[in-house]
Amino acid sequence: MKFRILAALLSLFPVLSHAQSIDSLDLKIGQMIMIGIGDRTSLSSDDPLVQELAQGKVGGVVLFEKNISSANSKATLQALTSNLKKHSPLPLFVSIDEEGGRVHRLKAKYGFFDIPSAADLGRLNNPDTTLAHHRRLAALLGELGINLNYAPVVDMAVNPNNTVIVKNERSFGNDGDIVTRHAEQVIKAHHEYGVLTVLKHFPGHGSSTTDSHYGIVDVTKTWQLRELIPYDQLIRNGQYDGIMTAHIINQRWDASRLPATLSKSVITTLLRNILDYPGPVFSDDMQMQAISDHYGFENAIALAINAGVDVLMFANTLPSQDKHVSASQVHSTIKKLLNENKISESRINESYRRIQEMKTGLQDQ
């Protein structure tokens, strides 16, 4: 009898240990890490990512077209998202860029469907149409197990020759009220199906003349104050889950010429203190050349966290596998910076709180 009682008590130890570790520092750091999963379309039990997930070193994953199997696309993707989530001790962000138009992973050739671009919807300027298209999209995301979409784009089409946003028809238009109106419909549609959204790219990429994927982008002479209108309106109306930063420089925001993602003046002073934004801040991909070519891996992480970024994205879209970054590498770097007092534990705690508050909106875990 005593042995049966002892065995029963011992069987509880892993559960108790797990519960006690939920708010550990390691887990809090892990929640700040958003990682691309390479070209995986499935997850085997001996995959290193499984261990990283189980150890709480991953707060979210980002999916791309390469993660969609050409055969049995829907069922295979559902199995992948389910498998990713089941290994995580906390709810996992399973994210994707699904803006419509040209930024579209779930293509018709995989058995899914296309939706109009933001530019098309903005020109039509019928909010009900925008809502209908994005209800269809959000229903699909929810069915596939994807719970976070990097949309809507609220960059304004300030520069008609802008290559990254305007030429790619990713903006609803040049009028802040129109951009806000359609962004609200996108958010509403996603929330109806339990999918969270991230506004992008703060504080506005629609006036740039170059693309931050490929190098430094300076908007000091082109950025306009009205590019903040959609952010201001959506924040005041409570229409947000998260906000993504842009890797753009403006010396009027930051005389030290740090890009917005790394700038405390932009994220803490402008976004949090002036616009009064309380939610999580997501970095755009930290492997874009605007960051990776100029600030270094460790230094960029320190600058971003100290600036006020809560979720650091390493999308692993680079062609060379040698340049791919694992969640463990990011995690150990953050711990090193913490041990060297280059970032503070209070910043980790702030980010953890914001992320967990956002994750309370997840309905599928």
Is 10 within a domain? no
Is 350 within a domain? yes
Is 18 within a domain? no
Query: Quick one: average pLDDT of 190-198?
Result: 97
Residue 189 banded pLDDT, cuts 50, 70, 90: very high
- Whole-model pTM over 0.85: yes
CATH of residue 339's domain is 3.20.20.300
Residue 320 banded pLDDT, cuts 50, 70, 90: low
Query: Quick one: average pLDDT of 275-286?
Result: 97
Residue 11, pLDDT > 60, answer: no
Tally of residues, the chain: 365
Is 153 within a domain? yes
Query: Quick one: average pLDDT of 205-213?
Result: 76
- The sign one gets for the Cα dihedral 120, 99, 203, 297 is negative
- Per-residue model confidence (pLDDT) at position 321: 64
Q: Which helix (H) or strand (E) segment is 248 a member of?
A: none
Closest CA to 144 of 78, 221, 96: 78
User: What is the domain count for the chain?
Assistant: 1
Query: Quick one: average pLDDT of 56-62?
Result: 98
Where does the chain have alpha helices with state H?
2-21, 25-30, 48-54, 73-86, 118-124, 127-144, 176-192, 229-236, 264, 289-292, 297-307, 327-339, 345-359
Residue 241 banded pLDDT, cuts 50, 70, 90: very high
Mean pLDDT score of the chain, rounded to an integer? Answer: 91
Q: What are phi and psi of 123, to 5 degrees?
A: -65, -40
Tell me the CA end-to-end span of the chain in Å, nearest whole number: 38
- Per-residue model confidence (pLDDT) at position 216: 76
Residue 13, pLDDT > 80, answer: no
- Per-residue model confidence (pLDDT) at position 212: 53
Quote the CA–CA distance of 330 and 32 in Å, as a whole number. Answer: 10
- Per-residue model confidence (pLDDT) at position 16: 33
Q: Which domain holds residue 119?
A: 23-359
Residue 51 banded pLDDT, cuts 50, 70, 90: very high
- Per-residue model confidence (pLDDT) at position 177: 98
Residue 318, pLDDT > 90, answer: no
Residue 200, pLDDT > 80, answer: yes
- Per-residue model confidence (pLDDT) at position 293: 86
Residue 77, pLDDT > 90, answer: yes
Geometric angle at alpha carbon 264, from 245 and 306, rounded to 5°: 95
- Per-residue model confidence (pLDDT) at position 7: 41
Query: Quick one: average pLDDT of 192-201?
Result: 97
- Per-residue model confidence (pLDDT) at position 356: 97
Query: Quick one: average pLDDT of 61-70?
Result: 97
Is 11 within a domain? no
- Per-residue model confidence (pLDDT) at position 20: 38
Pick the residue with more confidence: 131 or 324? Answer: 131
Is 330 within a domain? yes
Query: Quick one: average pLDDT of 303-309?
Result: 98
Least confident of 7-11, 59-63, 184-188: 7-11
Is 71 within a domain? yes
Is 307 within a domain? yes
Pair 136, 113: CB distance under 8 Å: yes
